Amino acid sequence: MRILIIGAGGREHALVWKLSQSPNVKELYCAPGNGGIAEMATCLLIKETEIDKLVQFAKEQAIDLTVVGPEVPLIAGIVDRFQREGLVIFGPNQKAAQLEGSKQFAKDIMKRYQIPTAAYETFTDAEAAKAYVRQKGAPIVVKADGLAAGKGVIVAHTMEEAIRAIEDCMEHAAFGDAGSKLVIEDFLEGIELSLMAFVDGTVIRPMVLAQDHKPVFDGGKGPNTGGMGTYSPVPPYGEETRERAMKEILIPMVQALQAEGIHYQGVLYAGLMMVGEQPYVIEFNARFGDPETQVVLPRLENDLAEVLYAVATGNLEGISLDWKKDAAVCVILASGGYPGSYQKGYPITGISSEKKSILFHSGTKQDAGEIQTAGGRVLGVTAVGQDLVEARDKAYETVQQVQFQDMHYRTDIALWAANQQRRSFNKSN
């Protein structure tokens, strides 16, 4: 198979890494890719949004399967376009990608089909939004309807914060058009989990649970980021939680989409809040999570090319997924200042001889043979071990060797869960 991956981050590096292990894969291309991906695939000078050029490349090079990493091209309709040209592509079409592209769209479907999610109202008028917040009180969550690069959600702990968030979005256009419509929803308190599933339109195969640490500093402090680290599994949540989330959320959602005449093909990502044993949907994404993918794919036994091709061609029925018992931990090394402004172009040292962990590049580039920082999230150091304690130890050992100017990372990725896992092991032995 000749495969084209679209995207430039750690998620795409993990996809390329896993696909490169498949005996069926003859050629791997990535548009545009990054400094690490360039070691495993041919990187193209085509951006993820240059749909015409991507179509042309796929046709000229007889690409058998194109896999879309990020949400932006999905929401722009890349899948519809490729399919019109008779090309096989993994990911939801434009209509289906609205599940991520519009919070109101997602919430309205959940309400209509009774899928557990926080109660909410949608507003296009700032005064009406403020009146709603005054009536509901804090804490309350204000969300820009459209895409805002992970920054359009404000968890307001006081009424003043909520009012300010409404003003920022609607009166000061802090998120541009994305914030001209707001979803305001009840605050849910609990533990967050990510559950991704492969969906071929009808058949759903869940992946293993993962947890993402979104705030930039230890202890969950500071502003939210795209994700500072992930791990899988997530004890004490296991098979029971996954089955419940499938039964109450993912299966009803795919059925709801079918009932609405929407064909959903690709990854359906449910961001969940566990309130006690009950999962609620915080958000749906229309793609693989980043950095969830960096810990989920190393646990997958299957040939990924076969799975992705089956999804894209509506043949998932015959495939069952097998997962390793091992644990995986991914620690993100970020540029100092991220998620605010930061400098790029610093040389990265200590990565060439690494053996204990897998280094997934998020924001790097190669310049005259040197690997340099090129983004906010720079590297995802991922290690696999027999349990979370071992995976964590290995990942942090590698982190100690890597250096670039102003490097920042969290020291508590998977810490709580690793302690949980060790305690229950000691109890049962």
Minimum Å gap between C-beta 248 and ligand GLY is 21
Q: Determine contact, residues 320/307, Cβ cutoff 8 Å.
A: no
Give the nearer residue to ligand AMP in terms of CB position, either 32 or 190: 190
Residue 91's closest CA among 255, 257, 264, 297? Answer: 264
- Pick from 99, 142, 153, 178: which binds ligand AMP (CB under 6 A)? 153
Q: Which two tokens stand for residue 74?
A: 């999905």
- Listed ranges 23-31, 183-191, 386-394, 421-429: which one lies at the site for ligand AMP (CB under 6 A): 183-191
Identify the H or E element spanning 232. strand 229-232
Give the nearer residue to ligand GLY in terms of CB position, either 289 or 376: 289
Residue 225's closest CA among 413, 51, 419? Answer: 413
Query: In the window 133-152, what residues touch ligand AMP (CB under 6 A)?
Result: 141, 150
**Half-sphere exposure of 384 toward its Cβ, with a 13 Å CA cutoff?**
13
Q: How many residues bind ligand GLY (CB under 6 A)?
A: 6
- Residue 290's binding partner, choosing from ligand GLY, ligand AMP, none, with beta-carbon cut-off 5 to 8 A by kind? ligand GLY
Q: Taking CB under 6 A as the rule, does residue 145 contact ligand GLY?
A: no
Q: Determine contact, residues 351/402, Cβ cutoff 8 Å.
A: yes
Backbone dihedral region of 254: left (phi > 0), alpha (psi from -120 to 50 degrees) or beta? alpha
Minimum Å gap between C-beta 71 and ligand GLY is 8
Q: Determine contact, residues 381/350, Cβ cutoff 8 Å.
A: no
- Listed ranges 289-297, 309-317, 336-344, 400-408: which one lies at the site for ligand GLY (CB under 6 A): 289-297
Classify 70 as helix, strand or coil: coil
Query: In the window 218-237, what residues touch ligand GLY (CB under 6 A)?
Result: 227
Classify 317 as helix, strand or coil: helix
Minimum Å gap between C-beta 165 and ligand AMP is 12
Q: Taking CB under 6 A as the rule, does residue 285 contact ligand GLY?
A: yes
- Pick from 18, 213, 292, 381: which binds ligand GLY (CB under 6 A)? 292
- Residue 256's binding partner, choosing from ligand AMP, ligand GLY, none, with beta-carbon cut-off 5 to 8 A by kind? none
One-letter identity of residue 241: T
- Pick from 212, 235, 361, 375: which binds ligand GLY (CB under 6 A)? 212
Q: Taking CB under 6 A as the rule, does residue 12 contact ligand GLY?
A: no
- Residue 155's binding partner, choosing from ligand GLY, ligand AMP, none, with beta-carbon cut-off 5 to 8 A by kind? ligand AMP
The alpha carbons of the chain give a radius of gyration, in whole angstroms, of 21
Q: Determine contact, residues 151/224, Cβ cutoff 8 Å.
A: yes
Q: Taking CB under 6 A as the rule, does residue 121 contact ligand AMP?
A: no
Give the nearer residue to ligand AMP in terms of CB position, either 273 or 331: 273
Q: Which two tokens stand for residue 33?
A: 């890719």
- For residue 26, how many other CB atoms are within 10 A of its CB? 10
Torsion sign across C-alpha atoms 142, 115, 254, 203: positive
| Beta partners for residue 197, in sequence order | 206, 268
- Residue 234's binding partner, choosing from ligand GLY, ligand AMP, none, with beta-carbon cut-off 5 to 8 A by kind? none
- For residue 114, how many other CB atoms are within 10 A of its CB? 10
Minimum Å gap between C-beta 283 and ligand AMP is 4
Q: Taking CB under 6 A as the rule, does residue 118 contact ligand AMP?
A: yes
Backbone angles phi, psi at 292, to 5 degrees: -60, -40
Give the nearer residue to ligand AMP in terms of CB position, either 50 or 145: 145
- For residue 340, how many other CB atoms are within 10 A of its CB? 9
Minimum Å gap between C-beta 226 and ligand AMP is 10
Give the nearer residue to ligand GLY in terms of CB position, either 269 or 309: 269
- Pick from 271, 279, 339, 380: which binds ligand AMP (CB under 6 A)? 271
- For residue 60, how many other CB atoms are within 10 A of its CB? 8
Residue 311 to residue 414: CA distance in whole angstroms: 31
Q: Which residues bind ligand AMP (CB under 6 A)?
A: 118, 141, 150, 153, 155, 185, 187-188, 192, 214, 224, 271, 282-283
Q: Which residues bind ligand GLY (CB under 6 A)?
A: 212, 227, 285, 289-290, 292
